[in-house]
Amino acid sequence: MSADRFFTALHRKFTNNLAHLNALDAAVGDGDHGSTMVRGLAKAVAADEGKRAKAFMRASGGASGTLFGLILIAIETYLDSAADLTSGLATACDRICDLGEVKVGDKSMIDALAPAVTAMKSGDLAAAISAARAGRDSTQPLVARRGRAQYVEQGGKGHIDPGAVSVVIFLETLGELD
Amino acid sequence: MKKLFNSAETMVDDMLDGFVSAYPQVTRAETDPRVIIRQRNVKNPDEKVTLLIGNGSGHEPIAMGFVGQGMLDTNVVGDVFAAPSADLILDGITAVSGAAGSILLISQHSGDMINGRAATMMAQDEGINVLALPMYDDISAAPPTRKKDRRGAPGTMFIYKILGAAAEEGKSQVELFELGEAVRDRIVTLAAAVSPGVSPLTGLPMFSLPEDEIFLGMGVHGEPGVGRVKVGPVNELVDLMVDKLLVDRPIPKGGRACVIINGMGGTTMMELLTIWAETETKLARHGIRAISPMIGSYVTTQEMGGFSISLMEPTDDMLNYWCAPSDTPAFPQINYTKMEQTS
């Protein structure tokens, strides 16, 4: 299986969710998360094989483009060259925590990614998707400690983190490929 | 504000077209048109450690102006006031890395740190021997107890030059990394802004400031300062700034300080030379000799009015490297001030 189909499906899904993601982000950040992801994914779809996640990084830009790009590199490497998905995502998760100085409970993409990695180690992709969804929903009452959300009123309390939503979409799209 | 650009989309690439066309020391890497690499007297990267910097545009001539013999091997150029993406920095690392290894110098700002360190991790995944060295020197960004939280400011130019000269001489990656940390520990910088720069993207001023006030501790992207002072004779402002620098990192009586007076783009050489003279006088009153200065507009924020003072208390080796010859489009020849017996 090539990453081509994954990025095509992902681009379609984010395009369909663009307004929703921007609205979620408007509550906790600057309101462009959906647009940023779609801009990156449009370039990823058009890029050469093996360079799709990097094209995403370049086009989406900023620190968030790099951090989401690390997850996409792990998925792309798994799809293109049968690398181990669990260890790839675990490495991406560790690196995002390190680079972004975040941990579980800070109201970020990590709240979905970290439990998904744990579930995948003892289960499968379906278990990881369930864990990611639960982690995503757990961000609603949290107060952000990193990123732009830390500067909004009450740290975005009451709103789901858009980054965690995106991580769930990554994994769901992967699950639908088979 | 009138600005002279073709378009927001092309302004960075238009600038780079002009830059590589004007200066024979540099060219564009084959890996990416946003990667500027050294063109002349290139040494074998299996034998010489290569030095890289990635940064946003709008601050020229730093750091692409410091690519060349005796300094940097590569500058990875981002968009206006935006860090280059990790994959772009990776292209830069790939373009010039060899068996001797590389060091990515990162002026500490959050986007630059995240993208630079991510690029370093990705390069290491590909088997490339590269280390990331964060650079920070702005005393207004955090107290001395939290030096590691400080921003990179114009004092980082000491690190570019000293490591560049030491790398040219053939020092190893580990030796250079340790030298970089040692130089970093000896640098302090404080900035003052008198008038805002204008963002080329929006055409709008970056902040507003009453006619009779000066911002102290201004960031290079237009970040607000830590304090305001009333406008007076420049010697009073320099007195205040040098006192703050020496409280932060004392230099003993009889010691030496290399000095950088950096203009932010809208301050004239007439003003900068006055500031240098006042800095030298003030340091002398503390019993410190100001030596081998670098004076000019190097780390700019478009036409922002203002300047920074950076001090480095050098070892003899650091001073030799600081004054070593180099051939880059924008780094000046630093005059070697003969060392006297100071103890």
Last residue of a domain, one of B185, B202, B226: B185
Residue B5 lies in a domain: no
Residue B35 lies in a domain: yes
Residue B40 lies in a domain: yes
Residue B331 lies in a domain: no
Expressed as residue numbers, the domain containing B204 is 188-313
Amino acid making up residue B41: N
- The pTM score is 0.94
pLDDT of residue B340: 55
Q: Are residues B77 and B196 in the same domain?
A: no
CA dihedral A158, A167, A169, A141 (to 10 degrees): -10
CATH number at B287 reads 3.30.1180.20
In whole angstroms, give the CA distance from residue A34 to residue A165. Answer: 10
Q: Are residues B175 and B196 in the same domain?
A: no
pLDDT of residue B24: 97
Q: Are residues B17 and B144 in the same domain?
A: yes
Q: Are residues B54 and B153 in the same domain?
A: yes
Q: pLDDT truncated to tens, each residue of chain A (178 aa)?
A: 689 999 999 999 999 999 999 999 988 878 899 999 999 999 999 999 999 999 999 999 888 999 999 999 999 999 999 899 999 999 999 999 999 999 999 999 999 999 999 999 999 999 999 999 999 999 999 988 887 777 777 888 899 999 999 999 999 999 998 6
Q: Is B87 within 8 Å of chain A by CB?
A: yes
Residue B210 lies in a domain: yes
Per the CB < 8 Å rule, is B82 touching A70?
no
Q: Are residues B41 and B110 in the same domain?
A: yes
Number of domains chain B is built from: 2
When scoring A48, A58, A110 by the number of chain B Cβ atoms within 10 A, the one with the most, hence best to mutate, is A58
Model confidence at B115: pLDDT above 80: yes
How many beta carbons lie within 10 A of that of residue A17, not counting itself? Answer: 18
- Residues in A touching B115 (Cβ below 8 Å): 63, 66
The residue among B237, B229, B100, B238 whose CA lies nearest residue B172 is B100
Residues of B with a catalytic annotation lie at 59, 221
Residue B201 lies in a domain: yes
Sort residue B312 into left (φ over 0), alpha (ψ -120 to 50) or beta. Answer: beta
The pairing of beta strand B256-263 with beta strand B305-312: antiparallel
Q: Are residues B166 and B137 in the same domain?
A: yes
CATH number at B170 reads 3.40.50.10440
**A60 to chain B: nearest residue by CA?**
B85
A31-72 pLDDT per residue, tens: 899 999 999 999 999 999 999 999 999 999 888 999 999 999
Q: Are residues B213 and B152 in the same domain?
A: no
Q: Helix (H, G, I), strand (E, B), or coil: what is residue B261?
A: strand
Q: Are residues B27 and B111 in the same domain?
A: yes
pLDDT of residue B202: 85
**What is the H or E stretch that residue B292 is in?**
strand B289-296
**B111 to chain A: nearest residue by CA?**
A63
Q: CA dist B91 to A52, B25, B120, B163, B283, Å?
A: 15, 20, 11, 22, 44
Residue B195 lies in a domain: yes
pLDDT averaged over chain A? 94
Q: Are residues B179 and B196 in the same domain?
A: no
Last residue of a domain, one of B185, B210, B231: B185
Amino acid making up residue B308: S
Q: What is the 3-state secondary structure (H, E, C) of B207-222?
A: CCCCCCEEEECCCCCC
Distance from A113 to chain B by nearest Cα, in Å? 18
Q: Are residues B179 and B203 in the same domain?
A: no
Give the bridge partners for B306, in sequence order: B193
Q: Are residues B198 and B140 in the same domain?
A: no
Residue B24 lies in a domain: yes
In percent, the amount of chain B with pLDDT more than 90 equals 84
Q: Are residues B102 and B155 in the same domain?
A: yes
Written as six digits, the tokens of B51 are 């030095």
ipTM score for this prediction: 0.92
Peptide bond into B61 cis (omega under 30): yes
Interface A-B: count of C-beta contacts within 8 A: 42
Written as six digits, the tokens of B265 are 């783009």
Helix, strand, coil tally for chain A in percent (to 5): 75, 0, 25
Q: Which of B88, B90, B118 sits opposite A99 (nearest CB)?
A: B118
Q: How many helices (H) and strands (E) does chain A have?
A: 9, 0
Dihedral sign for Cα atoms in the order B176, B182, B186, B188: positive
Last residue of a domain, one of B135, B159, B185: B185
The residue behind tokens 């989309």 is B9
